[in-house]
Amino acid sequence: MFTTPTPLRRLFGPVRPRWQRRGLPTSNDREPIGERFGLLVCRLSLVALLAIVSFGREVSGGELSPAEKGFRNLRTQHYLPPDFDEEVFAELWTTWGEPERTEAANATDAARRKLTFEYYGLIPAPGADRQPDYAQPALGYAPGEKGAWHMTCLACHGGQVAGQPMAGLPNSNISLQTLTEDVRAVKLRLKKPFGHLDYGSLQLPLSATNGTTNSVMFGVVLATFRRPDMSVDLKRTVPPLVHHDMDAPPFWNVKYKTSLYADGFAPKTARVIMQFMMIPRNSAETMQDWEPQFAEILAWIESLEAPKYPGPIDEPLAANGRMVFEEHCAKCHGTYGANGRYLQQTIDIRELGTDAVRLEALTPDFRRWMKEGWMSHYGEDQVIEEPAGYVAPPLHGIWASAPYLHNGSVPTLWHLLHPDKRPMVWKRTAAGYDQARVGLEVTEYPAVPDDVAEPRDRRRYFDTQLFGKSAAGHTFPDVLSPAEKQAVLEYLKTL
């Protein structure tokens, strides 16, 4: 289930799903897992979303809480100009290859729209009947005038687990590069003007693998045209860029962290999370005006709770796993449960051994720009200029946030625990969730098959041979016996 933020609990009282009320389901339960995951876990996330969006004000009969306002901002405000409109969206399928194109051509309008969401990894927003609503723009876009779609943070930070939407979960499906290419092709044909992303993607790749994005470099490019005080200076030249894709982390862990991002270099403030808004047309004054709205967005982010694992858990095995975890993993990842304690730590990249590209891609110049400017209240908030490695993240709700590691290179927790069995290349199956290995259901390959030629088709494969995509490192589980690994895997489901 999706534990609702406190204000909602106040509104609705404690909501507990059926399976929790009658005790944890056992493996003998006949209920198909599809139902458990699909209907039970996440219907509540839709309830939460919808409650905030539509009912919040009415039910509480007054002011929304800052967190509720934050979520409403994300669904309604236009921080960026629109990327495209309904007319363009309806034509996107005409750019596809076969067999998808014929399938779309023969489908009803409604079915074709759903196919279009799925093709680009767009997550449906919840509708009035609390079901995924494909009629409105996707969760990651605020609806605008004349059918416009304005991208928001939820494009990357609103995801789907086992087929169901959840705000704050990273979108592990998004195909931003393919979407933008197709939008551009349709706009050319319809003689519609290009948007900032259409131009931007001509200069820099948006993603080389679906489900991940080159977002760290977006930030560097946008920062280039800002003086430290946020005023715009278009004469500056973009520094050499190190393009690499990242997997966004889940929002529900932000409240346990003292600083932000994979290397923990940035302070956790409203200003820092506004980086995506730094397109030149948003002036320094606009950025300042929006700061309170982003303080609300940060309040929403910090109100989120990790979703509970909805499937069966072998409790005795998990209890064993807890002991193993506390001996081998807790020193970096903290402890969980009633007296859980997490102290954020950065682990030296030489000890950690995971892909170092992200760490090196953020130049000292960029970090200094943040340290010296408005973003960090002119150095009042701590900016770490030379982080030694990556942060050991909190593991709440880790079952839901596959793929793993900062670059999203490891598809399941089982693979994380078996460093030498991680696939060289993997591709998601349509069905989705792997209960046995806990994470994405994937097919493994020794290499991307030769007959996959089109770049958009190659982006469906996670190729760990590509730059910045290594699945190596974090070999800490190697000291565990097979039985201990099995126990830890079971325990991780309980976090």
- Candidates 249-257, 367-375, 426-434, 464-472; binding stretch for ligand HEC (CB under 6 A): 249-257
141-146-147 Cα angle (round to 5): 35
Burial (0-12, 13-18, 19+ Cβ within 10 Å), 435: middle
Please report whether residue 399 would count as binding ligand HEC according to CB under 6 A: no
Please report whether residue 156 would count as binding ligand HEC according to CB under 6 A: yes
Please report whether residue 260 would count as binding ligand HEC according to CB under 6 A: yes
Please report whether residue 67 would count as binding ligand HEC according to CB under 6 A: no
Q: Supply 364's token pair.
A: 């000292």
What is the distance, to the nearest Å, from the Cα of residue 393 to the centroid of all Cα atoms in its chain? Answer: 14
- Candidates 113-121, 209-217, 430-438, 450-458; binding stretch for ligand HEC (CB under 6 A): 209-217
Contact map string, positions 348 to 367, toward ligand HEC, x by CB under 6 A: ----x-x-------------
Residues 268-287 that bind ligand HEC (CB under 6 A): 273, 276
Please report whether residue 416 would count as binding ligand HEC according to CB under 6 A: yes
Of residues 45, 164, 213, 470, which one binds ligand HEC by CB under 6 A?
213
Q: Minimal distance in Å, beta carbon 317 to ligand HEC?
A: 15
229-230-235 Cα angle (round to 5): 105
Of residues 254, 295, 317, 472, which one binds ligand HEC by CB under 6 A?
254
> Of 112 and 257, which CB lies nearer to ligand HEC in the complex structure?
257
Q: Minimal distance in Å, beta carbon 34 to ligand HEC?
A: 25
Please report whether residue 442 would count as binding ligand HEC according to CB under 6 A: no
Torsion over CA of 113, 114, 117 and 119, rounded to 10 degrees?
-100
Please report whether residue 45 would count as binding ligand HEC according to CB under 6 A: no
Instruction: Work out the number of other CB atoms within 10 angstroms of the CB of residue 87.
Output: 13
Q: Supply 495's token pair.
A: 């976090």
Closest by alpha carbon to 374, among 241, 483, 493, 274? Answer: 274
- Candidates 86-94, 142-150, 242-250, 454-462; binding stretch for ligand HEC (CB under 6 A): 242-250
- Candidates 119-127, 282-290, 304-312, 395-403; binding stretch for ligand HEC (CB under 6 A): 395-403
Of residues 160, 210, 253, 269, which one binds ligand HEC by CB under 6 A?
253
Within 13 Å, how many C-alpha atoms sit on residue 126's CB side? 25
Please report whether residue 220 would count as binding ligand HEC according to CB under 6 A: no
Distance (Å, whole) CA 427 – CA 460: 6
Which residue type occupies 186? V
Q: Are 3 and 305 in contact (CB under 8 A)?
A: yes
CB contact set of 107 (below 8 Å; sequence gap of 6+): 115
Region of residue 146 (phi > 0: left; psi between -120 and 50: alpha; otherwise: beta)? left
Output the CA–CA distances (angstroms, integers) from residue 141 to 130, 338, 400, 471, in the order listed: 18, 37, 22, 31
What is the distance, to the nearest Å, from the Cα of residue 220 to the centroid of all Cα atoms in its chain? Answer: 19
Q: Minimal distance in Å, beta carbon 393 to ligand HEC?
A: 5
Residues that bind ligand HEC (CB under 6 A): 153, 155-157, 213, 215-216, 246, 248-249, 253-254, 257, 260-262, 273, 276, 297, 301, 328-329, 331-333, 347, 352, 354, 390, 392-393, 395, 398, 401, 404-406, 413, 416, 474, 476-477, 488
